Amino acid sequence: MPHPDAWIAAALEHQDLLLIDHAQCEKKAASTAMSLMYRYVDRPLLLTKMSQLAREELLHFEQVIKVMETRGVTYRHLSASRYAEGLRRHVRTEDPARLVDILIIGAYIEARSCERFARLIPHLDAELAKFYRSLVKSEGRHFEDYLMLARRYAEEGGDAQVEARIVFFAECEADLINREDSEFRFHSGLPCAA
């Protein structure tokens, strides 16, 4: 899943925005995991995995806040990028299809985060590079957990359908990343030329 170098250049130019939006993403990741814990109470593996994931994301959130504090970056509200909403609009409404779609989207968000951390690392200072290297590992694990859960909770005999949804969301995701975005965010697409 390569992404355009233009995003890297924008990220390095707007490191304050990168950190603030990164903090937002960690907080949102924890909140998404917790909302699944409220809705799907009868799935023990999902509850356990999401509880662990939420705790890890909140720890990441605290780590980003600490980096921001040491660098004098002030946390302020930022509008969300169109990325997550652009994926979630395709979620089917009936369960277990709804759950499967949300889990697949979770997997792609984690995968894209990993890819962006990995691409940024060679350009960052030692402290941030070390932090992002640790995140590549944990978000990579989250990606695998989300996909495992999506396959597990699909309807019986629905394996082919899950695989088809994985392909479908891969295409949506690639489209969102390759289109232009007017505002730079952690999951934004190509920076606008204007």
**Count of C-beta atoms within a 10 Å radius of residue 111:** 20
**Closer by beta carbon to Fe ion, 32 or else 188:** 32
Q: Residue 1 in 3-state DSSP?
A: coil
Residue 139 near Fe ion by CB under 5 A: yes
Burial class (CB in 10 A: 0-12, 13-18, 19+), 7: buried
For residues 108 and 87, is the Cβ–Cβ distance under 8 A? yes
Residue 185 near Fe ion by CB under 5 A: no
**Closer by beta carbon to Fe ion, 61 or else 184:** 61
Looking at 6-14, 59-67, 70-78, 93-101, which segment touches Fe ion (CB under 5 A)?
A: 59-67
Residue 160 CB, nearest approach to Fe ion (Å): 28
- Cα–Cα distance measured from residue 13 to residue 44, given in angstroms and rounded to the nearest whole number: 44
Looking at 67-75, 77-85, 86-94, 140-148, which segment touches Fe ion (CB under 5 A)?
A: 140-148
Tokens of 134: 């640790």
Looking at 37-45, 87-95, 102-110, 173-181, which segment touches Fe ion (CB under 5 A)?
A: 102-110
For Fe ion (CB under 5 A), the number of binding residues is 7
Q: Residue 190 in 3-state DSSP?
A: strand
